[in-house]
A = this chain, B = another copy of it.
């Protein structure tokens, strides 16, 4: 039994593992009551804004050369963002990994190399 669980775990994806750990975390604290998709979308956006706040007065060049202290702070916000994102996807029963892979496929169609090369136009504006 132990062995089977170990086997399954070793084949389980990273995002799946985090998802299950977050699920347990919330259950133990009786936090599911707060974790409606609506609320989680707000928490997600608040975390992302903390990333934005780190960069708002920096030039693009400065944003590439953060001090170790700053980088550590941003790293924590990135982690929080992934945590809320996985939690939100779980609550909506969305396979986040599969969704991302499919979206990359779509983007490769939407932005063909020859048209998109070197410009940041939205796909609806390509060719204009």
Give bound CA distance, A112 to B27, whole Å. 13
Chain A contact surface mostly: helix
Count identical subunits in the complex. Answer: 4
Interface size classification for chain A:
35 or more
Check if A100 is an interface residue, CB within 8 A of chain B. yes
- For window 16-50 of chain A, which residues contact chain B by CB distance below 8 Å? 18, 21-22, 25, 28-31, 33-34, 36-39, 41-46, 48-50
- Closest CB-CB distance, A62 to chain B, in whole Å? 8
| Contact indicator B48/A36 (Cβ below 8 Å) | no
- CB-nearest residue of chain B relative to A108? B25
Binding site for B on A (CB under 8 A): 13-15, 18, 21-22, 25, 28-31, 33-34, 36-39, 41-46, 48-61, 63-64, 66, 71, 74-76, 78-83, 85-86, 88-89, 91-92, 94, 96-97, 99-104, 107-108, 111, 113, 116-118, 120
**Sample (22) of A-B pairs whose CB atoms are under 8 Å apart:** A14-B15, A14-B97, A29-B113, A30-B117, A31-B116, A31-B118, A34-B57, A36-B60, A36-B64, A37-B64, A37-B74, A38-B63, A39-B60, A41-B55, A42-B53, A42-B56, A71-B92, A74-B94, A80-B103, A82-B82, A82-B99, A82-B100
